[in-house]
Amino acid sequence: MMPGSRNISAQVPGSSYQALDLLCTLAAVLDASGAVQFANAALENALGLSRRVLEGSDLAVCFMEPTLLDKALCGARDNDFAALRFEASLRRSAAEALPVHVTVSVIEPVGHVLVELWPLEQQVRQDREERLREQAQAHKELIRNLAHEIKNPLGGIRGAAQLLQMDLILPELQEYAEVIVHEADRLQALVDRLLAPHRHPHHVSDVNVHEVCEHVRTLVLAEFPSGLGIVRDYDTSIPEFRGDRSQLIQAVLNIVQNAALALRERMAEGDAEIVLRTRVARQVTFGRQRYRLALELHVIDNGPGVPDAIKERIFYPLVSGRDGGSGLGLTLAQTFVQRHQGLIECDSQQGRTDFRILIPLP
């Protein structure tokens, strides 16, 4: 074996490169002329080209900067290095160019190279998810402790105000005491919602995602009977999975209700629309893990979009962009979906807001 070269096919029966299909990084093996000998599944997906098309072709033309790979291949041929790294962009047929970190390593047999590509977007996204998860955890603990601190004296304040109410003779003073009782009740309801996710036991059964969607659809149409269309775009091949039906209904309901509230103006015009779209996603990475299969439920509305000022914080508790909102709906939804090892993401612009719920499937 050449010094510094890797023999990646030796462990694989039949000396094939099939094991590279298990990687979530994009990978290809090139021969001495730079022609693709093998392209793994992740690379096929990223380029939108099948392995059959890729094999035998020149990988350099798939880059916006083909000379970078050509130079690396020359270096590999001349034995200038064992591994080389550079940054480039992959040209994709059906999507915009994908920035990648490229590693070219010399492997056996002589002249062959392994090209690994790490999507930069994926790295950035994973770092961002990680940061958000840590922040969310810290917020949750703070809110929970604060809610407990408020809850304890609140009962005493309410009780004392009620006693006062009974003893006060002047009606206007009674009214003041009534205000205290009323406000204490309002605060109690808020605190109860803040603590709800910590109280909710996780009840697991077989869940059919379309049954969840239909339930939510019926509830929201009853609440907003005119001017709102809820379109179903279901992939009915999605299997049932183990989960907590009522938590998932609550999560989807919170998201669809937000969409409906954002559509108020369009409802008046009669063209408000929410799409419930279900799909199966393959080989997706979220929440630090890679999943072979995941359920993808999109709630898409044609409303004005999430206000820019709160876009980065909508999943945080008490962040609201509308009058009368308590800013807990999305926090609860995210908590319930996370209990299913899932994640909710949001992509929003004027005229199209897409909340995507991802949940791993067995």
Of 41 and 306, CB closest to ligand ATP: 306
Assess 329 for contact with Mg ion (CB under 5 A): yes
Restricting to residues 246-275, which ones interact with ligand ATP according to CB under 6 A?
Answer: 254, 258-259, 262
Query: Residue 267, CB half-sphere, CA atoms under 13 Å: how many?
Result: 17
The answer to whether 85 and 42 are in contact (CB under 8 A) is: no
Shortest Cβ 319–ligand ATP spacing (Å): 6
CA pair distance 215, 219, nearest whole angstrom: 6
Number of residues that bind Mg ion (CB under 5 A): 2
> Which segment (43-51, 144-152, 186-194, 253-261) binds Mg ion by CB under 5 A?
253-261
Q: Name the binder of 259 from ligand ATP, Mg ion, none, CB < 5-8 A by kind.
A: ligand ATP
Task: For residue 356, give both structure tokens.
Answer: 């995507």
Three-class secondary structure of residue 360 per DSSP = strand
Please report whether residue 258 would count as binding Mg ion according to CB under 5 A: yes
Q: Which stretch binds ligand ATP (CB under 6 A): 26-34, 98-106, 230-238, 320-328?
A: 320-328
**Interface of this chain with ligand ATP, residues 162 to 181, rule: CB under 6 A:** none
CB 66 within 8 A of CB 60: yes
Tell me the closest approach of the beta carbon of residue 2 to ligand ATP, in angstroms.
57
5 lines the binding site for ligand ATP (CB under 6 A): no
Contacts for 6-10 with beta carbons within 8 Å, 24 or more apart? Answer: 6/105, 6/106, 6/107, 6/108, 6/114, 7/107, 7/108, 8/107, 8/108, 8/114, 9/107, 9/108, 10/108
Instruction: Pick between residue 287 and residue 327 the one whose CB is nearest to ligand ATP.
Output: 327
Q: Which is nearer to Mg ion, 165 or 326 (CB)?
A: 326
293: helix, coil or strand? strand
Contacts of 4 (CB under 8 A, 6+ apart): 82, 83, 106
Q: Is the dihedral of CA 245, 247, 252, 256 positive or negative?
A: positive
Cβ proximity to ligand ATP: between 40 and 258 the closer is 258
Residues 6+ apart with CB under 8 A from 210: 234, 236, 238, 278
| Complex with Mg ion: residue 208 or 326, whichever CB lies closer | 326
* CB 257, CB 329: distance < 8 Å: yes
Would you count residue 66 as binding ligand ATP (CB under 6 A)?
Answer: no
Residues 340-359 that bind ligand ATP (CB under 6 A): 353
Q: How far is the CB of 262 from Mg ion (least distance, A)?
A: 10
Kindly state whether residue 250 participates in binding Mg ion, applying the rule CB under 5 A. no
The answer to whether the peptide bond before residue 109 is cis (omega within 30 degrees of 0) is yes
Residue 47's Cβ-count burial label (10 Å; 0-12, 13-18, 19+) is buried
Binding positions for ligand ATP, 287-316, rule CB under 6 A:
301, 303, 305-307, 314
Among 37, 246, 320, 341, binds ligand ATP (CB under 6 A): 320
> Which does residue 301 bind out of ligand ATP, Mg ion, none, counting CB within 5 to 8 angstroms by kind?
ligand ATP
Q: Which residues contact 227 (CB under 8 A, 6 or more apart)?
A: 266, 267, 268, 269, 270, 271, 272
Q: Which stretch binds Mg ion (CB under 5 A): 141-149, 292-300, 326-334, 343-351?
A: 326-334
* Nearest-approach distance from CB 150 to ligand ATP, in angstroms: 17
Tell which residue, 283, 299, 290, 296, has the closest CA to residue 235.
296
- Using the rule CB under 6 A, is 197 a contact of ligand ATP? no
Residues in contact with ligand ATP by the rule CB under 6 A = 254, 258-259, 262, 301, 303, 305-307, 314, 319-322, 325-331, 353
Residues in contact with Mg ion by the rule CB under 5 A = 258, 329
